Structure 1
Amino acid sequence: MSDVSGSELRALMARVPSVEKVMASAEFAALLAEYGRTQVLGAVREALDTWRAGAQSGDASVSALDVAQLKSAVEAALRKRHESRLRSVFNLTGTVLHTNLGRALLPDEAVQAVMKALTQPANLEFDLGTGKRGDRDDLIDELICELTGAEAATVVNNNAAAVLLTLSALASKKEVIVSRGELVEIGGAFRIPDIMSRAGAKLREVGTTNRTHLKDYEEAIGPQTALLMKVHASNYAISGFTKEVGLNEIAPLAHARGLAVAVDLGSGTLVDLSQWGLPRETTVRETVEAGADLVTFSGDKLLGGPQAGLIVGRRDLIAKIKKHPLKRALRVGKLTLAALEPVLQLYRAPERLTERLTTLRLLTRAADDIRLAADRVQPALQHAVGERYAVTAEPMFSQIGSGALPVDVLPSYGLVVRMADGKRGGRQLLALEKMLREMARPVIGRIADDALRLDLRCLEAADEAQLVEQLKGARA
């Protein structure tokens, strides 16, 4: 900062081009064509106000303003304003189904279907056979039932909505019996007790945190009981001295008393993952066959589709759920249905799922394949971070994520960045992590054990090439 004399300030102000002159200049023609007069005019006035404030404060860096200089400032402001807040990133966290990064990536078939639904009218609620209004659930009901063995199905916007709607429709002002060990909280403060309260249902806890017996359910059943419910232990696991009552025991008890059993599977899978060497997870079909009257699960986790909550089960119960007023508030739009149907279609050929379903392809990717990718990316990352850091390719473990199989990990490979002098990284690693996060396409890793770790499980061929090019143009 320095003092600017009154005469100097007046001279600077006198040389500021008028707004009309700026807008009419050849330099601004392209900006006007791209952004329109309203936005450009506003940006010009803001830039002029900023310059005047700097000049009047005596800022020594302020110099005479010309149209070219003003155009540069206006263009930068407009480009920043038009940057999308939703940006593509490189998911190098090691978590395949990362909730904060959008969970499942859609296969090409789903992407093409969404593009078509975006640009062409579709029979969302129009029955082409009768020429009358139809039900949007009809677009996927038959397919879901084929894959799960359920009698009927409906879709809402996520699994939390599926649970809320089920409880609201079937258990309002009545009791729902749940084991205390299954009263979970998952991401975003989604708690089963809170959902029950919002649905108007009364929670009846049975058993203890670690042990629940069939007699606990039996003794809790009364005139006010509407449902028996089992909840997938999402994001955690209880081990040691434990006892859980299986669905094969609860279902006969409930049915003998004229009650229904609802199961919140959380992630939900349609196929046995163990056939590809992944941890075993009970499928939706197995849950239905074991006696569940209703099953709720997510569309964007192990299923590998768009965000959605699916409810499958007995036809009479699904019909009651669909008549509830909340169903309309929670229903999905055409883009979700457009993406969901082709994903479900892929499950008709399970032998090809590891090739065609993006989520399963990433989960089953061989560690040796990931190691080769790490070897290819390592030189570019070393160049980008500089000699202050040491980059090595090392084995690590990935996670499935989003509450699916929380204690299971997948052998993987990635790049580890440490301080070259062997000292603890501290602020330097945080600064490096920030630098990568602020790249044109942000690179998202994680800091652990005094190192920045970049797991390459989710880095496929096309993204690998883009990452290498981006790193080559960067330098810490």
Structure 2
Amino acid sequence: MLSHIPSVEKILNDNRIIDLLEKYSRDSIIKLIRIELEVIRQRIVDSNLEFNYEVLIDNLINKANNLWLNEIKNVINATGVILHTNLGRAPLSSDAADSVRDISLSYSDLEFSIKSAKRGSRQEIVSDILCNLTGAESAFVVNNNASAVFLTILALCENKDVIVSRGEAVEIGGGFRIPDIISNSSANLVEIGTTNKTYVHDYETAINDKSGCILMVHTSNFKITGFTHSADISDLVKLSSSKGLPIIQDLGSGTLIDTRDFNLDYEPTIQDSIKSGIDLVLFSGDKLLGGPQSGIIVGKKKYLDLIKKHPIARAIRIDKLNLTALSSTLLHYIKDEAIDKIPVWKMISADIESLKARVIDWQNKITIESNIIEGQSTIGGGSLPGQILPTYLLSISGLKIDCGVNEFFNKLLNNKFPIVARIEKNNIIFDPRTVLGDEDSKLIDGINSVYANI
């Protein structure tokens, strides 16, 4: 059976492989062939499997296309989850995307001061804007908020105790936990209070000569209700000040806009935290801020100077493209146009009647029978847990789909423009709140295309 295996050269002369050579380099194809042939030889030796030339060619074509066309793709988010972590969280504004494209195609003054003709700092691009927006004395940006927490604890509390309420020693997503970040920052976690109740005196009792800071972690991705109590921020600020300890708040999501304006519960704003006397406030750039992946630290200059000087700061610094996108995003707030231009806030503030009008338009243009129902959108991304926004939904019953809802759902995913919907009680559901305005025609064409081919 081993003698039936063709040579690499013979496979390269197959017309179907010649077509692959039009798209990929000869060296890459040869390596792929050799790997596949080795797998076949081993299977023949181990299991005496029969060799099939057509299967080999099909496998090579499929592997080439799966391996080398596996780039990040645009998808249509019809789930109604605004900050969908699996779908990349916050989409950028058009201005931010344009600025990234412009900077990526040329050289830039990333770390060069045009005014002085000397080396500059990339942090200067956004630090002044952040201080203006938040009221902080200083600011520093890294590649994500977990890095911001890690760097802050490492720079300020190495070999010291970090005091955290037991109810705030949370998992922040992806299996990363606050206790693990603290321990890997060469600090010692000191948990106080209980899961549902922590008082100021719990913090005070824990403070000693080994204490490095008080860390407050906003529970932005879950909510504890009922028999609960949390220490008042103003009391903790007074306590930390009297003991000479920095008080650090990890807001997680972080917002500059009052969420109560949109009939949502209050989410602590960054500027409110700074105003309350918190020494350092940490938050994400790609959640409610509506920008790119980044971790942002704002607060007292004396602490941020120590953070900026730490060797790890360079290892986790923000890259030039995300920095450019962040700068453009922050300028929307400076210009008082965030709600009109930042997609996340356009979605949150979307008028219910405009959402209904879009769904009616969808229904009129798709060929499969559907219903319009009232529903709910969520914020997602570890922000405002349990909070919902009313919406209208396009619903396609599984009874109208010959192949069933699961197969229809998968076909939508494999459409030319992948559509991510949701399944509820044997219905395929599409929420207009998270479908960007210029994606409506693609969504309609996608649904019609899938329906026509089942």
Q: Do they superpose with TM above 0.5?
A: yes
Q: Which residue of 2 aligns with 1:430?
A: 406
Q: Secondary structure at the match of 2:104?
A: helix
- Aligned partner letter, 2:361: R
CA contact (8 A) 1:278 1:364 kept: no
- Aligned partner letter, 2:175: A
Query: Is 1:418 paired with 2:394?
Result: no
Please point out which of 119, 130, 141 is paired with 1:133.
119
Supply the distance in 2 between the matched residues of 1:58 and 1:38 (Cα, whole angstroms).
25
Supply the distance in 2 between the matched residues of 1:160 and 1:31 (Cα, whole angstroms).
42
CA contact (8 A) 1:418 1:452 kept: yes
CA contact (8 A) 2:417 2:442 kept: no
* CA deviation profile, 1:335-360 (whole Å, cap 9, x unmatched): 1111110100110122x322111110
Distance 1:48 1:257, change over 3 A: closer
Please point out which of 291, 302, 308 is paired with 2:277.
291
Distance 1:249 1:441, change over 3 A: same
User: How big is the shift at 1:446?
Assistant: 2.3
Q: Secondary structure at the match of 1:222?
A: coil
Supply the distance in 1 between the matched residues of 2:411 and 2:119 (Cα, whole angstroms).
54
Q: Which residue of 2 aligns with 1:441?
A: 417
User: How big is the shift at 1:121?
Assistant: 0.6
- Aligned partner letter, 1:373: R
Q: Which residue of 2 aligns with 1:392?
A: 371
Supply the distance in 1 between the matched residues of 2:50 and 2:125 (Cα, whole angstroms).
65
Write the mapping of 1:212-361 to structure 2, written as runs, cut at 5 A: 212-350=198-336, 352-361=337-346
CA contact (8 A) 1:174 1:202 kept: yes
User: How big is the shift at 1:150?
Assistant: 0.5
Q: Secondary structure at the match of 1:141?
A: helix
Gaps of 5+ in 1: 1-9, 63-69, 384-389
The alignment of Structure 1 onto Structure 2 pairs a total of residues equal to 443
CA contact (8 A) 1:183 1:191 kept: yes
Same amino acid, percent of matched pairs? 35
Q: Which residue of 2 aligns with 1:150?
A: 136
* CA deviation profile, 1:401-460 (whole Å, cap 9, x unmatched): 1111101101112122333289xx9x9332222222222222212223343322221113
User: How big is the shift at 1:473?
Assistant: 2.2
Distance 1:430 1:471, change over 3 A: closer
- Aligned partner letter, 1:433: F
- The 10-residue stretch of structure 1 (74-83 or 399-408) with the greater mean CA deviation from structure 2: 74-83
Q: Which residue of 1 aligns with 2:83?
A: 97
Distance 1:465 1:173, change over 3 A: same
- Aligned partner letter, 1:257: K
User: How big is the shift at 1:86?
Assistant: 1.2
* CA deviation profile, 1:305-330 (whole Å, cap 9, x unmatched): 00000001111100101111211111
TM-score by length of 1: 0.83
Supply the distance in 2 between the matched residues of 1:21 and 1:221 (Cα, whole angstroms).
71
Please point out which of 384, 401, 418 is paired with 2:380.
401
Q: Secondary structure at the match of 1:405?
A: coil
Supply the distance in 2 between the matched residues of 1:106 and 1:92 (Cα, whole angstroms).
17
Write the mapping of 1:111-126 to structure 2, written as runs, cut at 5 A: 111-126=97-112
Please point out which of 136, 143, 146 is paired with 1:160.
146
* CA deviation profile, 1:360-390 (whole Å, cap 9, x unmatched): 001111222222222222366553xxxxxx6
User: How big is the shift at 1:303?
Assistant: 0.2
Q: Which residue of 1 aligns with 2:361?
A: 376
Gaps of 5+ in 2: 44-48
Write the mapping of 1:169-208 to structure 2, written as runs, cut at 5 A: 169-208=155-194
Distance 1:261 1:45, change over 3 A: closer
Q: Which residue of 2 aligns with 1:65?
A: none
Supply the distance in 2 between the matched residues of 1:302 and 1:187 (Cα, whole angstroms).
16
- The 10-residue stretch of structure 1 (209-218 or 435-444) with the greater mean CA deviation from structure 2: 435-444
CA contact (8 A) 2:355 2:433 kept: yes
Supply the distance in 1 between the matched residues of 2:33 and 2:248 (Cα, whole angstroms).
60
Supply the distance in 2 between the matched residues of 1:21 and 1:240 (Cα, whole angstroms).
69
* CA deviation profile, 1:152-193 (whole Å, cap 9, x unmatched): 110111111100110011111111111111111121012111
Distance 1:206 1:41, change over 3 A: closer
Supply the distance in 2 between the matched residues of 1:241 and 1:77 (Cα, whole angstroms).
56
CA contact (8 A) 1:156 1:308 kept: yes
Between structure 1 and structure 2, the one with the greater Rg is 1
Please point out which of 429, 444, 448 is paired with 1:453.
429
User: How big is the shift at 1:392?
Assistant: 1.9
CA contact (8 A) 1:293 1:314 kept: yes
CA contact (8 A) 1:19 1:44 kept: no
CA contact (8 A) 1:380 1:471 kept: no
Distance 1:21 1:100, change over 3 A: closer
Distance 1:77 1:262, change over 3 A: closer
User: How big is the shift at 1:234?
Assistant: 2.4
Distance 1:75 1:183, change over 3 A: closer
